[in-house]
Amino acid sequence: TGLVTLDSGFTNTASCTSAVTYIDGDAGVLRYRGYPIEQLAEKSTFVETSYLLIYGHLPSAAELSAFTERIQRHTLLHEDLKRFFDGFPRDAHPMPVLSSAVSALSTFYPNSLNPFDEEQVELSTIRLLAKLPTIAAYAHRKSLGQPLLYPDNRLGLVENFTRLAFGNPAEDYEIDPVMVKALDQLLVLHADHEQNCSTSTVRLVGSGQANLFASVSAGIHALSGPLHGGANSAVLDMLEAIRNSDDDVDTFMTKVKNKEKGVRLMGFGHRVYKNYDPRAAIVKKTADQILSGLGKRDELLDIAMRLEEIALHDDYFVERKLYPNVDFYTGLIYKAMGFPTKMFTVLFALGRLPGWIAQWREMINDPATKIGRPRQVYIGEGARDYTEIGAR
Name every residue whose Cβ is closer than 8 Å to that of residue 390 and which is 6 or more positions away in sequence: none
- Which residue, 133 or 269, has its beta carbon nearer to ligand CMC? 269
To ligand CMC, the closest distance from the beta carbon of 239 in angstroms equals: 13
**Of the candidates 78, 93, 228, 255, which one interacts with ligand CMC according to CB under 6 A?**
228
Is 291 a binding residue for ligand CMC by CB under 6 A? The answer is no
Backbone torsions φ then ψ of 379, nearest 5 degrees: -125, 15
Distance CA 288, CA 278 (A): 17
Distance CA 283, CA 102 (A): 28
- Which residue, 78 or 271, has its beta carbon nearer to ligand CMC? 271
- Return contacts of 88-94, CB within 8 angstroms, 24+ apart: 88/142, 90/142, 90/143, 90/145, 91/143, 92/139, 92/142, 92/143, 93/143, 93/342, 94/136, 94/139, 94/140, 94/142, 94/143, 94/342, 94/343, 94/346
Is 271 a binding residue for ligand CMC by CB under 6 A? The answer is yes
* Closest-approach residue to ligand CMC (CB): 269
Is 256 a binding residue for ligand CMC by CB under 6 A? The answer is yes
Instruction: Show the site string, 305-334: x = touches ligand CMC by CB under 6 A, - = not.
Output: ---------------x-x--xxx-------
Is 284 a binding residue for ligand CMC by CB under 6 A? The answer is no
Which stretches within the chain are classed as H helix?
Answer: 37-43, 46-55, 61-73, 79-87, 94-108, 118-144, 157-166, 177-190, 197-207, 212-223, 231-244, 249-257, 278-293, 299-312, 315-319, 327-337, 344-365
- Which residue, 231 or 357, has its beta carbon nearer to ligand CMC? 231
Q: So which residues are the catalytic ones?
A: 270, 327
Backbone torsions φ then ψ of 58, nearest 5 degrees: -70, 135
Q: What are the C-alpha distances in Å from 85 to residues 18, 135, 338, 392?
A: 37, 9, 21, 50
- Which residue, 71 or 266, has its beta carbon nearer to ligand CMC? 266
- How many residues bind ligand CMC, per CB under 6 A? 20
- Which residue, 149 or 234, has its beta carbon nearer to ligand CMC? 234
To ligand CMC, the closest distance from the beta carbon of 279 in angstroms equals: 9
Is 66 a binding residue for ligand CMC by CB under 6 A? The answer is no
Is 266 a binding residue for ligand CMC by CB under 6 A? The answer is yes
Is 279 a binding residue for ligand CMC by CB under 6 A? The answer is no
**Of the candidates 151, 267, 278, 351, which one interacts with ligand CMC according to CB under 6 A?**
267
Is 196 a binding residue for ligand CMC by CB under 6 A? The answer is yes
Which residues make up the interface to ligand CMC (CB under 6 A)? Answer: 9, 196, 227-229, 231, 256, 264-271, 320, 322, 325-327
